[in-house]
Structure 1
Amino acid sequence: MRDYHYYKKVCASLPMPFAFVDLDLLQENMQRIIDRSNGKLIRIASKSIRSVDVLRRILDANAQFQGVMCFTVPEALYLAQQGFTDLLLGYPAADSRLLESVAMHQREGRSITVMVDCETHVEQAEAAAARYGVRLPLCVDIDMSIDVPGLHFGVWRSPIRRAADALSLVQRIAQSKHVVLDGLMGYEAQVAGVGDRVPGQALKNAIVRQLKRRSIREAAARRAELVSAIQRLDLPPLRFVNAGGTGSLHTSSAEPAVTEVTAGSGFYSPGLFDLYRDFTLHPAAGYAIEIVRQPRGDLYTCLGGGYTASGAAGRDKLPRPYLPQGAKLLGMEGAGEVQTPIRYNGPEELELGDPIFMRHSKAGELCERFTQLYYISNGSIVGEATTYRGDGQCFL
Structure 2
Amino acid sequence: MIELADARPWIAQGHWERLDAAVAHLDAPLAALSHDALAHNARDMVRRADGTPLRLATKSVRSRAVTEAVLRTPGWRGVLAATLAEGLWLSATVDDVLLGYPTVDRNAIRALAADERALERVTLMVDSVEHLDCIDAAAPGHPEIRVAIELDAGLRLGPLRAGVRRSPLRTPADARAMARAVIGRAGFRLVGMMSYEAQVAGVQDGRRRGASPAAAVRAMQRMSVRDLLERRSAAVAAVRAETQLEFVNGGGTGSIESTRRDPAVTEIAAGSGLFGGHLFDGYQRFSPAPALAFALPVVRKPAAGVATLLGGGWIASGPHGADRSPVIAWPAGLRLDPAEGAGEVHTPVLGAAADRLRLGDRVWMRNAKSGESNERIDELHVVVGDAVLESIPTYRGEGRQLL
TM-score computed with the length of structure 1 as normaliser: 0.94
1:90 pairs with 2:97:
no
Shift of the alpha carbon at 1:226? 1.3
Match for residue 66 of structure 1 among 40, 56, 77? 77
Shift of the alpha carbon at 1:130? 4.8
> Are 1:41 and 1:65, in contact at CA under 8 Å, matched by a contact in 2?
yes
Match for residue 44 of structure 1 among 56, 63, 72? 56
Alpha-carbon distance in 1 for matches of 2:184, 2:338: 58
Kindly provide the CA deviation profile for residues 122-175 of structure 1, in whole angstroms up to 9, marking residues without a partner as x: 23334556533x110110000000122452211100001111011001011111
TM-score computed with the length of structure 2 as normaliser: 0.93
Alpha-carbon distance in 2 for matches of 1:17, 1:303: 7
Counterpart of 2:382 in structure 1 is: 375
Match for residue 287 of structure 2 among 280, 286, 298? 280
Alpha-carbon distance in 2 for matches of 1:287, 1:91: 29
Counterpart of 2:300 in structure 1 is: 293
Match for residue 220 of structure 1 among 208, 225, 229? 229
1:321 pairs with 2:332:
no
Counterpart of 2:39 in structure 1 is: 27
> Are 2:155 and 2:163, in contact at CA under 8 Å, matched by a contact in 1?
yes
Alpha-carbon distance in 1 for matches of 2:178, 2:210: 42
Alpha-carbon distance in 1 for matches of 2:149, 2:336: 43
Counterpart of 1:111 in structure 2 is: 121
Match for residue 86 of structure 2 among 62, 75, 79? 75
Kindly provide the CA deviation profile for residues 201-253 of structure 1, in whole angstroms up to 9, marking residues without a partner as x: 795211111100101111111111012222333x2x20000000000011101
CA RMSD of aligned residues (A): 1.8
Which amino acid is 1:294 matched to? Answer: K
Q: How does 1:133-212 map to 2 (within 5 A)?
A: 134-198=143-207, 204-212=213-221
Alpha-carbon distance in 1 for matches of 2:384, 2:189: 45
Counterpart of 2:253 in structure 1 is: 246
1:333 pairs with 2:344:
no
In structure 2, the CA distance between the partners of 1:38 and 1:52, relative to structure 1 (3 Å rule), is same
Alpha-carbon distance in 2 for matches of 1:88, 1:256: 21
> Are 2:306 and 2:355, in contact at CA under 8 Å, matched by a contact in 1?
no
Shift of the alpha carbon at 1:108? 6.2
Kindly provide the CA deviation profile for residues 171-220 of structure 1, in whole angstroms up to 9, marking residues without a partner as x: 11111221011100000001001112236979521111110010111111
SS in 1 for 2:288: coil
- Consecutive unaligned residues of structure 1, counting only runs of 5 or more, are none
Shift of the alpha carbon at 1:111? 2.6
- Consecutive unaligned residues of structure 2, counting only runs of 5 or more, are 1-12
In structure 2, the CA distance between the partners of 1:272 and 1:107, relative to structure 1 (3 Å rule), is closer
Alpha-carbon distance in 2 for matches of 1:312, 1:170: 34
Alpha-carbon distance in 1 for matches of 2:398, 2:212: 45
Shift of the alpha carbon at 1:325? 2.3
SS in 1 for 2:287: coil
Counterpart of 2:66 in structure 1 is: 54
SS in 1 for 2:269: strand
Counterpart of 1:12 in structure 2 is: 24
Match for residue 109 of structure 2 among 99, 105, 116? 99
Kindly provide the CA deviation profile for residues 27-69 of structure 1, in whole angstroms up to 9, marking residues without a partner as x: 110111001102011000000000010001100122x211000
Counterpart of 1:266 in structure 2 is: 273
In structure 2, the CA distance between the partners of 1:15 and 1:38, relative to structure 1 (3 Å rule), is same
Shift of the alpha carbon at 1:256? 0.9
In structure 2, the CA distance between the partners of 1:208 and 1:351, relative to structure 1 (3 Å rule), is same
Alpha-carbon distance in 1 for matches of 2:52, 2:17: 39
Q: In terms of mean alpha carbon deviation, does 96-105 or 324-333 score higher?
A: 96-105
